């Protein structure tokens, strides 16, 4: 096998490993996102309740001030009633006193309702705060192990990339860039051994001329059908010899040979 092909196959093997590590790293993103989301939800709940209490407290104070004003007015009315001598004055003052009393009673019951609501909201706020604190506490371990696992994978990844770069130096720049482009597009293997007389990736038969270039000249060529790089694996070694990492390489393709001959 040509040394450049051998180097590219080694690079491809490293790329498989690199993609696997990248995949594992990417799988952490949703786990982190779901931790963030749970925490955010708990803290949002606290904030929402806190704001509602703020608004309700404002309303409470406003009503409280209004009641104070109404009570003072009511007291003045009562005094007027006490001093009223003439029947007509007394009747008018009485009506005012009665009306003010009703208004005051309504407002006071409304204020009591608000106080009750505020009490309930304060308990809810306390519960939400406790829940948020519990979630923060709960997540400490999960976040710690995510961080540890991520940094372990990141150092594995940078080591794997370093090793890969070393091996890639054995591949010509133009072949390497073609390979890189195809691998990036496919997000997977880019270099395939021909399977019998067909493409190892898409099984399309390879025209005679190209096949000769692969088999005889040992070139690396592009599959016209699916665009991967093709090479011809050397003759299969005797049974029992260590297998290569390209499963397509050793598959016999008798039917394909016949059909390939037909259109070659
Ligand atoms: Zn193909």
Angle at which helices 3-83 and 87-168 pack, to 10 degrees?
Answer: 170
- The pTM for the full model equals 0.65
Residues 188 and 159 in one domain: no
User: How many angstroms separate the alpha carbon of residue 107 from the centre of ligand 1?
Assistant: 83
Cα separation of 205 and 196, whole Å? 9
Ligand 1 mean position, distance from CA 135 (Å):
52
Q: Do 77 and 142 have their domain in common?
A: yes
**Amino acid 264: pLDDT:** 35
Same domain, 100 and 128: yes
Q: Are residues 230 and 221 in contact, defined by beta-carbon separation less than 8 angstroms?
A: yes
Protein residues placing their CB within 5 Å of the ion ligand 1: 199, 201-202, 223, 225-226
In a domain, 4, yes or no: no
Helix-strand-coil split of the chain, %, nearest 5 = 75, 5, 20
Inter-residue contact 21 to 156 (CB < 8 Å): yes
pLDDT of residue 119: 97
Identify the domain boundary among 110, 138, 168.
168
10-residue mean pLDDT profile of the chain (264 residues): values are 90 97 94 95 97 97 96 89 82 87 94 97 97 96 95 97 96 96 96 94 92 87 94 67 48 44 41
What is the CA(250)–ligand 1 centre distance, in A? 17
* 23 and 151 part of one domain: yes
Q: What CATH number does residue 36 fall under? A: 1.10.287.1490
* Residue 96 confidence (pLDDT): 84
- End of a domain among 115, 142, 168? 168
Q: Are residues 22 and 94 in the same domain?
A: yes
- Inside any domain, residue 1: no
The answer on 113 and 20 residing in a single domain is: yes
Count of other CB atoms within 10 angstroms of residue 83? 10
Q: Are residues 31 and 156 in the same domain?
A: yes
Ligand 1 centroid – CA 227 distance (Å) = 6
Is residue 59 assigned to a domain? yes
- Residue finishing a domain among 124, 139, 168: 168
If asked whether residues 160 and 101 sit together in one domain, one would say yes
How many whole angstroms from 221 Cα to the centroid of ligand 1?
A: 11
Q: Do 52 and 58 contact (CB within 8 A), yes or no?
A: no
pLDDT at 62: 97
- Report the number of distinct structural domains present in the chain: 2
Domain span at residue 227 reads 173-263
Residues 104, 19 share a domain: yes
Q: Are 146 and 181 found together in one domain?
A: no
């Amino acid at each position: 096998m040509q040394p450049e092909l051998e180097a590219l196959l080694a690079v491809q093997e490293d790329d498989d490993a690199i993609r696997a590590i990248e995949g594992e790293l990417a799988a952490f993103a949703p786990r982190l996102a779901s931790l963030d989301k749970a925490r955010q939800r708990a803290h949002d709940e606290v904030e929402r309740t806190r704001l509602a209490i703020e608004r309700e407290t404002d309303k409470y104070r406003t009503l409280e001030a209004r009641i104070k004003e109404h009570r003072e007015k009511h007291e003045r009315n009562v005094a007027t009633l006490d001093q009223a001598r003439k029947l007509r004055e007394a009747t008018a003052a009485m009506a005012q006193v009665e009306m003010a009393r009703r208004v005051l009673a309504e407002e006071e019951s409304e204020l009591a309702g608000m106080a009750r609501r505020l009490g309930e909201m304060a308990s809810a706020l306390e519960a939400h705060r406790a829940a948020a604190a519990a979630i923060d506490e709960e997540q400490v371990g999960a976040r710690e192990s995510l961080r540890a696992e991520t940094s372990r994978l990141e150092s594995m990844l940078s080591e794997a990339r370093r090793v890969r770069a070393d091996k890639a130096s054995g591949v010509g720049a133009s072949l390497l860039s073609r390979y890189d482009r195809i691998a990036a597009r496919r997000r997977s293997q880019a270099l395939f051994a021909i399977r019998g007389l067909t493409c190892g990736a898409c099984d399309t038969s390879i025209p005679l001329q190209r096949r000769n270039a692969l088999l005889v000249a040992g070139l690396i060529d592009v599959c016209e059908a699916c665009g991967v790089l093709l090479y011809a694996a050397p003759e299969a070694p005797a049974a029992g010899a260590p297998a290569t990492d390209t499963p397509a390489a050793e598959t016999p393709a008798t039917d394909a040979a016949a059909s390939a001959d037909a259109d070659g």
